[in-house]
Amino acid sequence: MDAFSVYLLIVFGLVFTMTSSNLHSTKWIIRQYYETASGVAIIDTLRLPPNIVNEVKNMPAAHSMPTQMLKPKRQQRRGPPGANMMPKDETWRLSAYGRYHCVENHLGDEDIQLLEQIEKQILPLVHGFFQNGDRTEESRGASVTDTIMDGIYRSELQLMTAVPGSGNQSWHKDNRARGLSIIVPLVDFTPENGGTQLLLGSHNNNWPLFANGGARVIDAPAGSVVAYDSRTIHRGLGNETNEGRPALIFCYDRVETPPPGCGTLGSVGTSYQGRLVDILTGAMNVLSPK
């Protein structure tokens, strides 16, 4: 893509409009944005059209997507609460009560082909995010465009859903190291159906931002692109509606720092940190495009 269209980066209700005649400078702006702001963005103009959203919702893997809480199996199994409520073929794994995930190794060739076509549209964001670590290569005369993805890999590709009556996830980080997580809602995300809740600024321990922003809930239409630093403390909320809340998830990390980057104690510590900050900063706020 030689020319980059206008991107709207919407955070805290502020709109940052940027145009660029070349991909390099646009990626630079995206990189600077992530380093200095909240670590979260809704890329409003990079929205999937309704026909593509419908294709994803009708791809083979989506046919087996749970639409309600699954009945318990006879045989109990260890794991998170509700772990015995898995589909018989276990294509859909559970992360929290009523939250089911179909990960890449359970996706068929047709599914992956469609999702990788979508991925091509978001790769410029991935390039821009990681470009900061490749300035030394540029100083040696190497092409940043050619080297930027060296050592970067897609660590997660999945289709997930939160069924009606699902519960809140524990607060967590996708990675202790710097990476990029992208969510594409397949229905409108709202506080009522369990849109993702994030602690803005938690990727770099920006405590003043914690105090002023608190926990924000993504409120975005279907097909939107929601991108955040993988170090951001976040969780999926419970779905209080009568319809499921499906979404796509893409994650990108460096080979030398694969997720999650911490053990059980670290995960527990992050969970309690998120709960504490959420309590101290008050009510649930909404992060949405205007």
Q: What is the pLDDT of residues 101-124, one digit of tens each?
A: 999 999 999 999 999 999 999 998
Q: What is the pLDDT of residue 282?
A: 58
Q: How far apart are CA 13 and CA 212, in angstroms?
A: 14
Strands ordered across the beta sheet of 4-11: 14-20, 4-11, 40-43, 225-229, 180-185, 245-254, 152-162, 99-103, 93-96
pLDDT tens by residue, 130-173: 885 444 344 434 444 445 678 899 999 999 999 999 999 988 99
Q: What is the β-pairing status of strands 180-185 and 245-254?
A: antiparallel
Check whether 127 has a pLDDT greater than 80.
yes
Check whether 36 has a pLDDT greater than 80.
no
Q: How far apart are CA 20 and CA 189, in angstroms?
A: 30
Q: For 277-288, what is the mean pLDDT?
A: 59
Question: 180 pairs with which residues across the strands?
Answer: 229, 252
Q: Which of 249, 240, 29, 200 is nearest to 124 (CA)?
A: 29
Within 131-263, residue ranges assigned H as helices are: 135-139, 144-147, 207-213
- Which is higher by pLDDT, 17 or 220? 220
Geometric angle at alpha carbon 219, from 158 and 130, rounded to 5°: 55
Query: Comparing 27-31, 150-154, 202-206, 230-234, which segment has the lowest mean pLDDT?
Result: 27-31
Mean pLDDT over all residues of the chain? 75
